[in-house]
Amino acid sequence: MANHSQFGFQDASSPIMEELVEFHDHALMVALAICSLVLYLLALMLMENLSSNTVDAQEVELIWTILPAIVLILLALPSLQILYMMDEIDEPDLTLKAIGHQWYWTYEYTDFKDLTFDSYMIPTTDLPSGHFRLLEVDHRVVIPMESSIRIIVTAGDVLHSWAIPTLGVKTDAIPGRLNQTSFITTRPGIFYGQCSEICGANHSYMPIVVESTPLTHFENWSSLLSS
């Protein structure tokens, strides 16, 4: 959950988000090294006498050609690794379908019979004490912890986007098209997200709430809703 004056990411709750945070720190260190080098060279130019030999500088040209290539490789390799990890979906334990509407979500648990519900934001006037304004819903998505979850995302009217920052998940919901992604929650908890594609007047009022629970609690919840 994000806090006021927070400068960092939310606590990672999935392996993918942990990798994304590590890559962010890696890229930030590379950028810091580049900025430090540029500032050092600028200071050197201001304090030292400049060389008038600008015609033949093969060593300098070699350095400023090879060095950016090395920097790009240092950024590209971990980036490609994470991209392939995010696209990998191998025998999920549970498949969930999310359908975006103006302005609510419909969820279908395709592994269960008749387990479908709509999820609307709870109005501020009806919000119980201690709950988060503009983030709570009347029906949460419940998933088993430490299980591979595949989510299929689409839309019934306009473009939407299903996003949970703490899980590192953001998938576009496009009418007539099925997009999919997968994630694993590493701890129990309640994770909040919002539609991340401008979809109309009430775009800000279609939150997403995912509740990660132990497997036994999920089985009890699913059997209760299916009955």
Query: What distance in Å separates the CA atoms of residue 210 and residue 149, rounded to the nearest whole number?
Result: 12
| Residue 53 pLDDT greater than 70, yes or no | no
Q: Which of 77-91, 168-182, 185-199 is least confident?
A: 77-91
Mean pLDDT across 81-97: 88
Dmax (CA) of the chain: 85
Element (H, E) at 40: helix 15-47
Please tell me the predicted confidence (pLDDT) of residue 207. 95
How many CA atoms are closer than 13 Å to the CA of 105, on its beta-carbon side? Answer: 34
Q: How many CB atoms lie within 10 A of CB 10?
A: 18
Give the pLDDT confidence of 139-163 residue by residue, as tens digits.
999 999 999 999 999 999 999 999 9
The encoded tokens of residue 81 equal 């690794």
| Residue 208 pLDDT greater than 90, yes or no | yes
Please tell me the predicted confidence (pLDDT) of residue 91. 85
Eight-class DSSP state of 219: H
Higher pLDDT, 120 or 58: 120
Query: Do the beta carbons of residue 101 and residue 88 sit within 8 Å?
Result: no
Higher pLDDT, 58 or 193: 193
Please tell me the predicted confidence (pLDDT) of residue 2. 65
Query: Do the beta carbons of residue 99 and residue 176 sit within 8 Å?
Result: no
SS3 84: helix
**Sign (positive/negative) of CA torsion 163, 164, 168, 169?**
negative
Give the pLDDT confidence of 195-204 residue by residue, as tens digits.
999 998 999 9
| Residue 119 pLDDT greater than 80, yes or no | yes
